[in-house]
Structure 1
Amino acid sequence: MKRPIAVFDSGVGGLTVLREIRLHLPSEDLIYFGDTARVPYGTKSAMLIARYAVENVRFLLRFEPKMLVVACNSMSSVAIPVLEGAFRLPVVGVIHPGAVTAVRASRNKVIGVIATQATIASRAYHHAVRAREPEAEVIGKACPLLVPAIEEGRGPDDPVVRMILSEYLAPLREEEIDTLILGCTHYPVIRKAVEEEMGGGVTIVDSAKETAHRTRDFLAELGLLERSRKPGRIRVYVSDNPAEVRKRGALFLGDDMPPVELVTPEQFYE
Structure 2
Amino acid sequence: MNKPIGVIDSGVGGLTVVHELMRQLPKEQLIYLGDTLRCPYGPRSADEIRTFTWEMVDFLLTKNIKMLVIACNTATAYTLGELQEKLSIPVVGVILPGARAAIKSTKNNHVGIIGTEGTIRSNAYTQALQTIKSDIVTYPLACPTFVPMVEKGILSGQLAERTVEEALLPLKINNEMDTLILGCTHYPLLKDVIQESIGSHVTLISSSEETARETSAILEMNQLLNDVEEQFSHQFYTTGDVEAFTSLTKRIFDSSVDNLKTVSIEKAII
TM-score by length of 2: 0.94
Q: State how far apart, in whole Å, the 1-side matches of 2:153 and 2:202 are.
A: 26
Aligned counterpart, 2:59: 59
Q: CA deviation at 1:40?
A: 1.1
* Structure 1 stretches lacking a partner, 5+ long: none
Q: CA deviation at 1:244?
A: 2.4
CA offset digits 1:10-41 (Å, max 9, x no partner)? 11111111111001111100000011221111
Aligned counterpart, 1:176: 176
Residue type matched to 2:78 in 1? Answer: V
Question: Which piece of structure 1 moves more, 228-237 or 87-96?
Answer: 228-237
Check 1:9–1:268 CA distance in 2 against 1; reply closer, same or farther (3 A cut): farther
Aligned counterpart, 2:251: 251
* Structure 2 stretches lacking a partner, 5+ long: none
Question: Which piece of structure 1 moves more, 210-219 or 140-149?
Answer: 210-219
Q: State how far apart, in whole Å, the 2-side matches of 1:130 and 1:232 are.
A: 41
Aligned counterpart, 1:158: 157
Q: 3-state DSSP class of the match of 1:258?
A: coil
Residue type matched to 1:178 in 2? Answer: D
Aligned counterpart, 1:126: 126
Q: 3-state DSSP class of the match of 2:62?
A: helix
Aligned counterpart, 2:236: 236
CA offset digits 1:208-230 (Å, max 9, x no partner)? 22211111111112111111234
Q: State how far apart, in whole Å, the 2-side matches of 1:265 and 1:145 are.
A: 26
Q: 3-state DSSP class of the match of 1:182?
A: strand
Residue 38 (str. 1) matches residue 38 (str. 2): yes
Residue type matched to 2:262 in 1? Answer: L
Q: State how far apart, in whole Å, the 2-side matches of 1:231 and 1:113 are.
A: 40
Q: How does 1:148-227 map to 2 (within 5 A)?
A: 148-155=148-155, 157-174=156-173, 175-227=175-227
Check 1:189–1:111 CA distance in 2 against 1; reply closer, same or farther (3 A cut): same
Q: CA deviation at 1:243?
A: 2.7
Q: CA deviation at 1:231?
A: 5.8
Q: 3-state DSSP class of the match of 2:153?
A: coil
Q: CA deviation at 1:86?
A: 2.2
* Identical residues among aligned pairs (%): 38
Residue type matched to 1:8 in 2? Answer: I
Kept in 1: contact 2:234–2:259 (CA 8 A): no
Kept in 2: contact 1:117–1:142 (CA 8 A): yes
Aligned counterpart, 1:110: 110
Q: State how far apart, in whole Å, the 1-side matches of 2:160 and 2:266 are.
A: 37
CA offset digits 1:118-165 (Å, max 9, x no partner)? 00000000000000110111111100001111111111x321111111
CA offset digits 1:64-108 (Å, max 9, x no partner)? 111000000110011101211221110010000000110111111
Q: CA deviation at 1:170?
A: 2.3
TM-score by length of 1: 0.94
Kept in 2: contact 1:7–1:18 (CA 8 A): yes
Q: State how far apart, in whole Å, the 1-side matches of 2:122 and 2:161 are.
A: 27
Residue type matched to 2:158 in 1? Answer: P
Q: State how far apart, in whole Å, the 2-side matches of 1:158 and 1:178 are.
A: 26
Q: CA deviation at 1:265?
A: 5.0
Q: State how far apart, in whole Å, the 2-side matches of 1:232 and 1:140 are.
A: 41
Q: CA deviation at 1:110?
A: 0.5
Q: State how far apart, in whole Å, the 2-side matches of 1:158 and 1:258 are.
A: 29
Q: State how far apart, in whole Å, the 2-side matches of 1:21 and 1:45 are.
A: 30
C-alpha RMSD over aligned residues = 1.8
Aligned counterpart, 1:89: 89
CA offset digits 1:178-204 (Å, max 9, x no partner)? 000000001111111111212221111
